Structure 1
Amino acid sequence: MTDFTVLCMQHGQDRVVVELNRPQARNAINAVMVSELHEMCAALERTPKILILTGAGTDFAAGADIAELRERGRDEALAGINRAVFDRIAALPMPTIAAVEGNALGGGAELTYACDIRIAGAGARFGNPEAGLGILAAAGASYRLAELIGKSIAKQVILGGRILDADAALRHGLLADVVDTGEALAAACALADRIGRSSPLALRLSKAVIDAAGPHPLLDDLAQAVLFESADKKERMTRFLEKRPS
């Protein structure tokens, strides 16, 4: 376990499980947490692994720390304090999974949007009520949410204050699955087990080409060329053709 103040990290051979650990504040994202998330990203950039993000207690994260936000001014806004770390999480080399229980609101919702895949317990709720506090959902919701669920639903959430319960989030494509309350982390770990059986290099390159802007057939071809030359590809295909267990 890494000794952090508001993150708990558990390292596995192919993954890191990170728990937002401010349950007394419903895991509100504060400056210390942002700093520790940057440290986490640095570690995963050096040694790429699957990332699972979850929250301690009953909520994933009920938002950013409002007391801190109230004191921020123009310079802090231009620094993109929360947005920068969420963008860094979105750009991590290996797949990222948010295991969501309870509320994922404001900055907490935006943190889940930055992940590649989201799994939620039945009681999960997603929303961006920032406009009600006189600010913008500026840590990724304005560009990620519309891409994930479409502009119409994104406007209902950001402009209309709509809260998506787990069933609505699943129906609109925000979630990969809804499981019983309390089972989101276990389901995320099972998904990580499945992901972990794939080629790490193939996963990294697949994520890179999916996230590339615009049509990119040449990039796909170049990534495939790298994979075609890998020993891992040859071994995996040989196992398949010889019907050997993976």
Structure 2
Amino acid sequence: MSPPTSTPYDTLLVEERADRVVVTLHRPEARNAISGRMIAELHRVCEDLERDPRLLLLTGHGGVFAGGADIAELLGRGRDEALQGINSRLFERVRGLPMPTVAAVDGWALGGGAELAYACDIRIAGPDAVFGNPEPGLGILAAAGACWRLGELLGESVAKQVLLAGRNLDATAALACGLVMDVVPADRLTAEAHALLDRMARSSALALRLTKLVTDAPGAHPVADDLAQAVLFEGRDKEERMTSFLAKNEKNEKNEKNGARA
């Protein structure tokens, strides 16, 4: 495996590996608040991942995922900027990336920061993680996906508790309602996230891509299931993996029989 490489960005730390890209939100002076510059740089990352599909690990610098959108920038935005969907278009692009995405969240993930985490396929949390959408308190709504994505993730009742009643979900609550896959010690968060990616990387890359594509397709999709499976059934990867599986089982059965005779 080639050594990881780093690409220079102003608001991100980006580490590129053969099978994954690790992106750390890095605006320590603003609790990693999501600015227009960060949005543009995340679009660059998405462009790279669309051209060269790999797993994505998204995290935040300094014990904070992202404290929200940049309020000073939001103050200056009007109707035209809202209709451009500056944040929502990016988060939907993250959601649509061809390979699985994982958000490793510790500390605050508020407002736009929470919505970015919601857009990832899987979330893993540190003990100090807090998810929340306090936008109505600023006279706006959570318009970058939370108003509809959170209901899909958590159900209507919990989504309304967060969006309307201002409830924050700490790590324990996020785990209980299924928002996060696991809660791990802060000093193990990155390692556990990589272990999760390692597990996915051992699967067929094409099978992961097609599984994500079918899972994200709206409504029932038996035809899409069949077409995706047809592609995989003709692939060399499936033949090699299943042949190896059967050979391993046959070997185990022989060993068990020999042990029983002994």
Q: Does 1:194 align with 2:161?
A: no
Q: Counterpart of 2:123 in 1: which secondary structure?
A: strand
Q: Counterpart of 1:51 in 2: which secondary structure?
A: strand
The equivalent residue for 1:178 is 183
Q: Which amino acid aligns with 1:167?
A: T
Q: Counterpart of 1:178 in 2: which secondary structure?
A: coil
Return 5+ residue gaps in structure 1 as ranges.
Answer: none
The equivalent residue for 1:38 is 43
The equivalent residue for 2:81 is 76
Q: Which amino acid aligns with 1:111?
A: L
The equivalent residue for 2:101 is 96
Measured in 2, the distance between the counterparts of 1:216 and 1:176 equals 26
1:42-74 C-alpha deviation (Å, 9 max, x unpaired)? 000000000000001120001000000000000
Measured in 2, the distance between the counterparts of 1:182 and 1:28 equals 22
Q: Does 1:125 align with 2:130?
A: yes
Q: Does 1:27 align with 2:32?
A: yes
Q: CA deviation at 1:182?
A: 3.1
Q: Counterpart of 1:225 in 2: which secondary structure?
A: helix
TM alignment of 1:93-242, pairs within 5 A: 93-242=98-247
The equivalent residue for 1:86 is 91
Q: CA deviation at 1:183?
A: 2.2
Q: TM-score, normalised by structure 2?
A: 0.92
Q: Does 1:67 align with 2:90?
A: no
Q: Counterpart of 2:59 in 1: which secondary structure?
A: strand
Q: Which amino acid aligns with 2:187?
A: G
Q: Counterpart of 1:78 in 2: which secondary structure?
A: helix
Higher relative contact order (CA 8 A, sep 6+): 1
Q: CA deviation at 1:181?
A: 2.1
Q: CA deviation at 1:12?
A: 1.0
Deviates more, 1:115-124 or 1:236-245: 236-245
Return 5+ residue gaps in structure 2 as ranges.
Answer: 1-5, 252-262
Q: Which amino acid aligns with 2:57?
A: I
1:53-104 C-alpha deviation (Å, 9 max, x unpaired)? 0001120001000000000000000000000000000000000000001000
Q: Does 1:56 align with 2:55?
A: no
Q: Which amino acid aligns with 1:86?
A: F
Q: Which amino acid aligns with 2:135?
A: E
Q: Which amino acid aligns with 1:173?
A: G
Q: Which amino acid aligns with 1:174?
A: L
Deviates more, 1:180-189 or 1:193-202: 180-189
For the Cα contact (< 8 Å) 1:29–1:61, is it kept in 2?
yes
List 4+ stretches of structure 1 deviating above 2 A. Answer: none
Q: CA deviation at 1:180?
A: 0.9
Q: Counterpart of 1:191 in 2: which secondary structure?
A: helix
Measured in 2, the distance between the counterparts of 1:51 and 1:179 equals 19
CA RMSD of aligned residues (A): 1.0
